Structure 1
Amino acid sequence: MNIIIIEDELKTAKSLENIILSLRPASKILGQYQSIEGSVAALLGGLQPDLIFMDIQLADGLSFEIFKSVNITCPVVFCTAFDEYSLEAFKSKGIDYVLKPFSKDDISQALRKVDELKNFFQQKVVPELGDLLSKLNTPSGKTSFLVFKNQKYATVQTDDIAFFYIRNDSTSIMCFDKQEFALNQSLDQVTASVAARQFFRVNRQYLVNFKAIKEVEHYFMRKLYVKLLIETPEKLLINKEKSHSFLTWMEER
């Protein structure tokens, strides 16, 4: 099987390549591409993959733009941390997704699904991109979270949340008014359920609201230091591999 990887985080792309080849040694990775422009050029230049692993948010925009320039006739597996509605849209159209951070088992399941749906993908690959793009351009994630505190249930509006973070191995909510609540969900689950335009997973411990960001500074080892309006227990640092994606996310407003 000939495969291409469209992913703007080089470390993630390499990890994905290693996992794929360990699961399917006979497969060949035809190339890795970090942008819409580079992907379109390669595909229009005669590249003919049997399968594409594709991130959604690339350095120069949403990867769905690729479909406007290229008639893709092979299965596509999206590797993303996008909101819940979009994931359901992909599944209902027969295109699988892998939620970041992914594991070897996640990729294995995706490959099995591609095998099972091979005949389907040959007939219809891409969802109705116009409708899907219009939905992706608006925050369509959860609007509130159910919390329990002082023996009472209450709802916290997502817009009122400055950041989610892991505290004592559990997920907590910190609101702009500095109220804090425990949440009975993993940070991975929360990341998948909120709007990707509104929240960014800066590292394994923190998921921050765009409106909570005060300023961003360059830090040692090409990292970024993110300062929020609400003080955090530790410094929020973004590694160099993720810095470009974060800055692109901030710019796309």
Structure 2
Amino acid sequence: MNIIIIEDEKPSARRLQRMLESLGLKTETMLHSVEESINWFQNNEHPDLIFLDIQLSDGLSFEIFEAIKIKSAIIFTTAYDEYALQAFKLNSIDYLLKPIDEDELQKAVNQYKEQTPAQKAVTLDFDDIKKLLVNPIDREYKKRFSVKVGQHLKLINIDDIECFYSENKGTYLHTTEGRNYLLDTTLEHLEDELEPHTFFRINRKFFVNINAIKDMVSYTNSRLQIKLKSYSDQDVIVARERVKDFKSWLE
């Protein structure tokens, strides 16, 4: 299997390369920009599989496909973006949310291997995806969650939630009143239900509400520590791979 990685953040590209090697897969090439990718595709045989980030150092990766007709299968490796993820689900082999989880990577690779050659030759309509990104379709996000309190159900408005987090295989929400409630869902499902301008997934375990952030301080290994208004059960850390996107989200 011939694999290439297109990713502008070289540490992220190297990490993905190591993860693929642990699965017995060799990466032939790593590309880091739109211009470099176009030049490479013009002069090389196209690979079987591309791991593709959407935002590169010199533009959106869509520009590659506008310049070159590519029939390779694609697995997106992307930071959290609600509209992009909705589009990718319809058009690609799979997408992997950064920071990439080893189990999710294995599942995506297995999904690629199980597909027929005809299915692997995916044709992506990038114009339609770009329209979703620039002019996202109006949609309804969750306005409240129901939680079980004893034998009763309690409704909690989305504005009263500071964060969502996972702990001991459970998913919880934390309210502005300082209460924690167990949810019958996962953080992965919440990705499609939370308004992306209000909630951001800072790492594998946390979504935070922008209105609940009290302070932000530098943390080890180029990370950020978030101080929320009432939540203090554990450290709330922005993963190093998410810091750049987190700062953009704040603005």
Q: TM range, normalised to the smaller chain?
A: 0.7 to 0.9
Structure 2: distance between partners of 1:239 and 1:80 = 14
SS of the equivalent of 1:249 reads helix
Change in 2 beyond 3 A, CA 1:222/1:160 = same
Matched residue type, 2:190: V
1:2–1:30: 8 Å Cα contact kept in structure 2? Answer: no
Q: Which residue matches 1:14?
A: 14
Matched residue type, 1:125: L
| Equivalent runs, 1:1-253 vs 2, <5 Å | 1-7=1-7, 10-25=10-25, 27-33=26-32, 38=33, 40-47=34-41, 48=44, 49-50=46-47, 51-56=49-54, 63-64=61-62, 67=65, 71-80=69-78, 82=80, 87=85, 89-100=87-98, 102-115=100-113, 116-122=115-121, 124-126=123-125, 128-134=128-134, 136=136, 141-167=141-167, 170-191=170-191, 193-251=193-251
Sequence identity percentage? 33
2:38–2:64: 8 Å Cα contact kept in structure 1? Answer: no
Q: What is the Cα-based RMSD across aligned positions, in Å?
A: 3.6
Structure 2: distance between partners of 1:142 and 1:101 = 25
Provide structure 2 residue ranges, at least 5 long, that are not aligned to the other structure.
none
Larger deviation: 173-182 or 52-61? 52-61
C-alpha displacement of 1:236: 2.4
Change in 2 beyond 3 A, CA 1:126/1:22 = farther
Structure 1: distance between partners of 2:168 and 2:102 = 27
C-alpha displacement of 1:77: 0.8
Provide structure 1 residue ranges, at least 5 long, that are not aligned to the other structure.
none
Matched residue type, 1:110: A
Cα displacement string for residues 21-47 of structure 1 (whole angstroms, at most 9, x for unaligned residues) = 34354x4331143xxxx2x11122133
C-alpha displacement of 1:153: 1.7
1:200–1:208: 8 Å Cα contact kept in structure 2? Answer: yes
Tell me the TM-score normalised to structure 1 length.
0.73
Structure 2: distance between partners of 1:62 and 1:196 = 20
Cα displacement string for residues 40-67 of structure 1 (whole angstroms, at most 9, x for unaligned residues) = 1112213354222124466787655655
Structure 2: distance between partners of 1:94 and 1:234 = 36
SS of the equivalent of 2:105 reads helix
